[in-house]
Copies of this chain bind each other. A is one copy, B any other.
């Protein structure tokens, strides 16, 4: 037999499977109340309308929708996305362009591929989106992070760290941030800190990657513009996705940035997958045009707000003294901090045995720490099981603390 391992390229060292992912895969199957995933509630999928749209698109525009398409994405769809962003207060400059990607995961990947050389620093929130860390890590990035509080990333801490790094000769390329309803913490960056972040990027000549999957359904108005809108010099690369507001299974993400940047991403994408499926782009385009997404956002907001409220109440009721958690104004996640000494990663297998799952917070911290934290998703679990799940979890943690 062939020894396959001898053929592997060096970079596969970045590609180890996550034990937690494997464990959580199992949890999804059993009789477990799972707060672990990041899935939208399928009740928000506009099945009936999408079904009609899909049928019509294939029948009437099938010659295009089923054929090869441009690497940048379907031209009309890119224009519709620009309108959609403008309606949502995202500034689209004249010299900006849009590339459609296979989920915003691919946007992240292409940005890593185009901009990150081994040893380059990426500045991030602590905690931040795990899959972004993994992508940048694959391209050899190092990280410097700043903690978040209820006003988002502490930009003053970031500034200090960044300036120290530069003095030491480090090369910083990007700031990666999810300013609104962040994953995993749920917090939203204040207007002042956004301003400060952009000034810092300006001063140090850095690019800013603004990942924005959640702002479309914040439960109350966000008292700040997107970084893309506040940016004056074209250094913000804005990404978003239809995964949370229409359907993740369609894998429609996009990047908006200066057209020079988009051109680089296009060349990178050509080799990766030639283009994102035309068919899903055509369906998504009609869904936006016909207002299906706008309606859906309104309905999802109501549902998720209710679920969030139930989870917050249950946390209050059942979580041990000395815990704290974020109170997100939108998004899908609450992040909880347990008393020091509790290790949520070690406790996960036992929690799953007791019928409740979560994501241990540790892996969201680029530079370590967070052993006592966990991420709780409120969008996916059935509304009538949220209290019971948090109760199980709270009781379990109390038990551990009282041992």
Q: Does A268 contact B (CB under 8 A)?
A: yes
Question: Interface segment, A1-9, A144-152, A347-355?
Answer: A1-9
Residues of A249-272 at the interface with B, using a CB-CB cut-off of 8 Å, are: 249-251, 258, 260-261, 263-264, 267-268, 270-272
Query: Closest CB-CB distance, A342 to chain B, in whole Å?
Result: 29
Q: Does A275 contact B (CB under 8 A)?
A: yes
Using known A-B contacts A45-B63, A117-B10, A264-B15, determine if residue A233 contacts B273 with beta carbons closer than 8 Å: no
Chain B hits for A12, CB < 8 A: 114, 264, 267-268
A274 in contact with B63 (CB, 8 Å) = no
Number of copies: 2
Query: Closest CB-CB distance, A331 to chain B, in whole Å?
Result: 16
B62 in contact with A267 (CB, 8 Å) = no
Using known A-B contacts A68-B249, A268-B15, determine if residue A9 contacts B280 with beta carbons closer than 8 Å: no
Chain B hits for A52, CB < 8 A: 55
Chain A binding surface SS class:
helix
Q: How large is the interface on A (under 10, 10 to 19, 20 to 34, 35 or more residues)?
A: 35 or more
Residues of A233-250 at the interface with B, using a CB-CB cut-off of 8 Å, are: 233-235, 243, 247-250
Contacts A/B (CB < 8 Å), 25 sampled: A2-B207, A7-B173, A9-B114, A9-B116, A10-B117, A11-B113, A11-B117, A17-B263, A17-B267, A42-B62, A45-B62, A45-B67, A51-B54, A51-B56, A52-B55, A66-B247, A67-B249, A68-B249, A105-B273, A105-B274, A134-B270, A250-B279, A251-B277, A273-B273, A279-B280
- Across the interface, A267 reaches (CB within 8 A) one of B1, B16, B260, namely B16
B67 in contact with A59 (CB, 8 Å) = no
Chain B's closest residue to A205 (CB) is: B2
